[in-house]
Amino acid sequence: MTVLDRSAYAVPADELARSLLGCTLVRRLDDGTRLAGTIVETEAYLGVRDKAAHSKGARRTPRTEPMFGPGGTAYVFLIYGMHRCFNIAAATPGDPQAVLIRALEPVLGLSTMRAHRAQRSRAANPAALPDHLVCSGPGRLCDALGIDLGMSGLDVADRDSKIRVEQIQKASGGVPTAEIGTSSRIGVDYAEEWKDALLRFFIRGSRAVSGPASMNR
């Protein structure tokens, strides 16, 4: 398992969103515990021109600043006053594109993930959730991995980072195109002509993919 190369992030967000599928998101807790999951669902936000993006029209504020940094910079934000979303900046400095990580298939630290969900979510009984639902959704995965707003701006290409991306083997081809499904993005009905753009990507057949079944074909 090797850390995804820094140069892999210096590409447009839709390309990065596809290549992150099948990679492993690894979280190192302060006590050294490692949590990990395979990325099975992503969304691309194309930056300045994309009306669904926080960075649309080059909107640059303290919150969105990480997206203006180099590809591989973490962007974490609070949504609806209670959930966090984890993104990775794409492209090059000054071009604020990003990829939202929407779902993981847990591979390491499942019991700790469940404990985090029990602690941070209102779910009636997280301990009874099937494995594939523990990180199935952008807010759920942040709860499970203990990702908070203070982690926005971290470098995910640094192998010592508290949050990073690894791949099984360098220069592997990644997930075959035929196994990748696409759809419009979830929750962006306000985005006018951008709301139907096919910028959501997922691994076909993975049960950990979030959203309605009709969008997962």
Partner DNA sequence: ATGACGATTTACT
Partner DNA sequence: GTAAATCGTCATA
**Interacting residues with DNA (CB under 7 A):** 43, 45, 52-55, 59, 61-64, 67, 75, 77-83, 85, 87, 98, 100, 117, 121-124, 137-141, 149, 185-188, 190, 210
**Letter for the amino acid at 62?**
P
Min. distance of Cβ 61 from DNA in angstroms? 3
Q: How far apart are CA 217 and CA 202, in angstroms?
A: 9
- In the complex with DNA, the residue whose CB is nearer, 14 or 43, is 43
> Across the strands, what pairs with 78?
84
Q: How far apart are CA 20 and CA 18, in angstroms?
A: 6
Min. distance of Cβ 204 from DNA in angstroms? 20
Longest C-alpha distance within the chain, in Å? 46
Min. distance of Cβ 32 from DNA in angstroms? 27
Min. distance of Cβ 188 from DNA in angstroms? 5
- In the complex with DNA, the residue whose CB is nearer, 2 or 187, is 187
- In the complex with DNA, the residue whose CB is nearer, 19 or 210, is 210
- In the complex with DNA, the residue whose CB is nearer, 121 or 182, is 121
How would you class 125 by CB atoms within 10 Å of its CB: exposed for 0-12, middle for 13-18, buried for 19 or more? exposed
In Å, how far from its chain's centre is CA 182?
16
Min. distance of Cβ 161 from DNA in angstroms? 19
- In the complex with DNA, the residue whose CB is nearer, 1 or 149, is 149
What is the rounded radius of gyration, in angstroms, for the C-alpha atoms of the chain? 16
**Letter for the amino acid at 107?**
V
- Number of neighbours of residue 135 by Cβ within 10 angstroms: 32
